[in-house]
Amino acid sequence: MIEILTEILNALLLLFLVVCAIAVAQIRDMLSAVIVFASFGLIMAIVWQQLSAPDVAMVEAALGTGVTTLLLIAAISKTRRTE
Amino acid sequence: MVPFIQVYGIYIILHGHLSPGGGFSGGAIFGASLVLIALSFNLEVGARQISHATASVLESGGALGFIITGLVAVALGGNYLANQAAGFPMGEAGELFSAGAIFIITAFLGIKVASTIVTLFYNIIEGDDKSGDAH
Quick check: B36 and A70 CB within 8 A? yes
Percent of chain B, pLDDT > 70? 68
Mutate to test the interface with B, among A77, A79, A81 (most CBs of B within 10 A): A77
Question: Given CA atoms A46, A49, A53, A58 in this order, what sign does their dihedral have?
Answer: positive
Q: Residue B132: pLDDT above 50?
A: no
Higher pLDDT: B87 or B69? It is B69
Widest CA span in chain A:
51
pLDDT of residue B134: 47
Provide, as residue numbers in chain A, all residues whose Cβ is less than 8 Å from the Cβ of B28.
59, 62-63, 66-67
Question: For chain B, what is the mean pLDDT?
Answer: 74
pLDDT of residue B85: 55
Residue stretches of chain A with pLDDT short of 50: none
Distance from CA of B111 to the nearest CA of A (A): 15
pLDDT of residue A21: 93
Provide, as residue numbers in chain A, all residues whose Cβ is less than 8 Å from the Cβ of B32.
62, 66-67, 70
Contacts 24+ apart (CB under 8 A), A48-54: A50/A6, A50/A9, A50/A10, A50/A13, A54/B20
Q: Residue B128: pLDDT above 70?
A: no
Distance from CA of B31 to the nearest CA of A (A): 8
Give the whole-angstrom CA distance, residue B28 versus residue A67: 8
Q: Phi/psi at B2 (nearest 5 deg)?
A: -60, -45
Which residue, among A46, A66, A69, A71, has the nearest Cα to B25 in the 3D structure?
A66
pLDDT in tens, B13-39: 877 666 677 778 888 888 888 888 887
How would residue B88 be classed by pLDDT, with cut points 50, 70 and 90? low
Quick check: A59 and B117 CB within 8 A? no
Give the whole-angstrom CA distance, residue A42 versus residue B96: 30
Closest partner residue to B25 (CB to CB) among A62, A73, A78 is A62
pLDDT in tens, B33-67: 888 888 788 777 777 777 778 888 888 888 888 88
Higher pLDDT: A52 or B132? It is A52
pLDDT of residue A23: 93
* Kind plus residue range of the DSSP H or E element containing B56: helix B52-75
Which residue, among B78, B60, B46, has the nearest Cα to B115 in the 3D structure?
B60
Domain map of chain B by residue range? 2-126
Asked if B97 and B107 count as a contact pair (C-beta separation under 8 A), the reply is no
Per-residue CA distances from B115 to B32, B53, B119 (Å): 10, 10, 6
